[in-house]
């Protein structure tokens, strides 16, 4: 069917129309063509009078008939859109909305979902097998040392489900287990490697990576775990680990080690926050900085090391702004500054001002459990130099 514009060429033969179109694309002026072919239309509408271009070499895959395209103006640079007049299918268009394409996509989607379901079911079985196997070999609660108990207690307080069975994925809980992602990952990996926590049958299978009938990896913060301590069905045991009241004589060395570990990560978290404030990249923080913080923590409280970190990050930011050095170079000065400032404070034997916690980074659960329940010294843990004489 011809449209109202195409009717304007009704007095011309097909051959004449073909030549007219050819002359149009060869650059002949519209006004000349209108006059010569006796076409009664505004010159800007000439293009609209042309019949669609037939593509005899492109058959619609659904209707098996030649496809068409609208005529483009000679100045147009847009891609030619070839379509079927019958079913509206568009050639080479991934997003074609014709009925046949939508139908095909739905079927493909359905097949994908079925395949997904089959694989998910296989993986769920692998998960269940591993769970039952691990569950048969629980860790005896008597074998747990204070590090195990601290990590478990903090993890349970952060993520234990209402019915006391599962340890929810960290990505789904609001409370913060420990300062920095590295430390959070370390805690989970540690408990998992010791089989103190095992994959819960409720963990979404897509949080796990399977290989040859085995769970090869997991996305630590998306995985649901379950406590695997002897008689883990016994709520009393869970309550004990959750509320952790340490009375027995515990390994003094290990206590110091844990204090240093928590202090170190609290300092690193504070440093990350400062760097974010000054728009400096934290991926350049390396072993050198970590070891300078550890050194400082031998002589100063966490709150005092915050002071050195605060000064060192301002220095790094000023150095970057004033000296035309790279951000990496600026960040690399932080370790040295922390070391120099702490050594100077020792040499001059003067009191270093204590900083408070950053408002945006309140004390984490592991820090609370350690200082309140294990050491029972509360904020002293943050404000005192690491030692056991308190």
Q: How far is the CB of 55 from Zn ion (least distance, A)?
A: 12
- Kindly state the tokens that stand for 276: 């974010």
Q: How far is the CB of 98 from Zn ion (least distance, A)?
A: 3
- Residue number with CB closer to Zn ion (60 or 220): 60
- Residue number with CB closer to Zn ion (41 or 63): 63
Q: How far is the CB of 88 from Zn ion (least distance, A)?
A: 7
- Residue number with CB closer to Zn ion (89 or 157): 89
Q: How far is the CB of 77 from Zn ion (least distance, A)?
A: 25
Q: How far is the CB of 95 from Zn ion (least distance, A)?
A: 9
Residue count, binding to Zn ion (CB under 5 A): 10
- Residue number with CB closer to Zn ion (86 or 299): 86
Q: How far is the CB of 69 from Zn ion (least distance, A)?
A: 14
Q: How far is the CB of 104 from Zn ion (least distance, A)?
A: 8
Q: How far is the CB of 96 from Zn ion (least distance, A)?
A: 3
Q: Is 81 in the site for Zn ion (CB under 5 A)?
A: no
Instruction: Compose the 84-103 pattern: x for residues touching Zn ion by CB under 5 A, - for all others.
Output: x-xx-x------x-x--x--
**Looking only at residues 100 through 159 of this chain, which bind Zn ion when binding is defined by CB under 5 A?**
101
- Residue number with CB closer to Zn ion (89 or 255): 89
- Residue number with CB closer to Zn ion (98 or 374): 98
The CA distance from 7 to 51, in Å, is 10
Q: How far is the CB of 79 from Zn ion (least distance, A)?
A: 16
The CA distance from 367 to 183, in Å, is 12
- Residue number with CB closer to Zn ion (60 or 268): 60
Instruction: Compose the 46-65 pattern: x for residues touching Zn ion by CB under 5 A, - for all others.
Output: --------------x-xx--
**Looking only at residues 186 through 225 of this chain, which bind Zn ion when binding is defined by CB under 5 A?**
none
Helix axes 235-243, 146-159, angle to 10 degrees: 100
- Residue number with CB closer to Zn ion (96 or 305): 96
- Residue number with CB closer to Zn ion (83 or 272): 83
**Looking only at residues 319 through 338 of this chain, which bind Zn ion when binding is defined by CB under 5 A?**
none
In 3D space, the residue among 263, 249, 217 whose CA is nearest the CA of residue 370 turns out to be 263
Q: How far is the CB of 97 from Zn ion (least distance, A)?
A: 7
**Pair 80, 69: CB distance under 8 Å:** yes
- Classify the C-alpha dihedral 355-356-358-361 as positive or negative: positive
- Residue number with CB closer to Zn ion (21 or 84): 84
- Kindly state the tokens that stand for 186: 């370390």
Q: Which residues bind Zn ion (CB under 5 A)?
A: 60, 62-63, 84, 86-87, 89, 96, 98, 101
């Amino acid at each position: 069917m011809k449209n109202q514009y195409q009717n304007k060429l009704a007095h011309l033969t097909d051959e004449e129309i073909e030549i007219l179109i050819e002359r149009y694309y060869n650059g002949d002026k519209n006004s000349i063509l209108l006059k010569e072919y006796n076409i009664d239309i505004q010159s800007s509408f000439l293009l609209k009078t042309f019949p669609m271009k037939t593509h005899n070499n492109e058959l619609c895959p659904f209707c098996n008939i030649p496809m068409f395209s609208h005529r483009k103006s000679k100045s147009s640079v847009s891609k030619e859109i070839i379509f079927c007049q019958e079913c509206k299918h568009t050639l080479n268009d991934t997003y074609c909305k014709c009925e046949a394409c939508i139908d095909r996509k739905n079927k493909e989607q359905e097949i994908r979902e079925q395949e997904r379901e089959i694989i998910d079911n296989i993986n769920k079985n692998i998960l269940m097998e591993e769970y039952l196997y691990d569950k048969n070999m629980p860790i005896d609660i008597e074998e747990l040392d204070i590090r195990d108990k601290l990590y478990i207690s903090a993890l349970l307080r952060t993520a234990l489900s209402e019915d006391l069975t599962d340890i929810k994925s960290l990505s789904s809980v609001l409370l913060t287990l420990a300062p920095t992602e590295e430390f959070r990952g370390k805690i989970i990996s540690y408990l998992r490697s010791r089989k103190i926590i095992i994959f819960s049958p409720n963990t979404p299978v897509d949080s796990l990576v399977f290989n040859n009938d085995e769970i090869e990896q997991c996305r630590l913060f998306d995985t649901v775990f379950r406590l695997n301590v002897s008689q883990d069905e016994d709520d009393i045991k869970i309550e004990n680990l959750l509320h952790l009241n340490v009375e027995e004589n515990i390994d003094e060395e290990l206590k110091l080690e844990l204090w240093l570990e928590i202090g170190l990560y609290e300092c690193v978290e504070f440093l990350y926050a400062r760097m974010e404030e000054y728009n400096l990249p934290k991926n350049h923080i390396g072993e050198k900085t970590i070891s300078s913080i550890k050194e400082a923590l031998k002589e100063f409280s966490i709150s005092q090391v915050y002071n050195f970190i605060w000064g060192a990050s301002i220095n790094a930011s000023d150095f970057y702004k004033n000296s035309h050095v790279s951000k990496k170079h600026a960040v690399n000065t932080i370790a040295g500054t922390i070391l120099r400032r702490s050594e100077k404070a020792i040499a001059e034997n003067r009191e270093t001002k204590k900083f408070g916690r950053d408002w945006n980074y309140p004390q984490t659960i592991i820090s609370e459990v350690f200082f309140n329940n294990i050491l029972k010294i509360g904020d002293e843990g943050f404000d005192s130099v690491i030692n056991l004489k308190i």
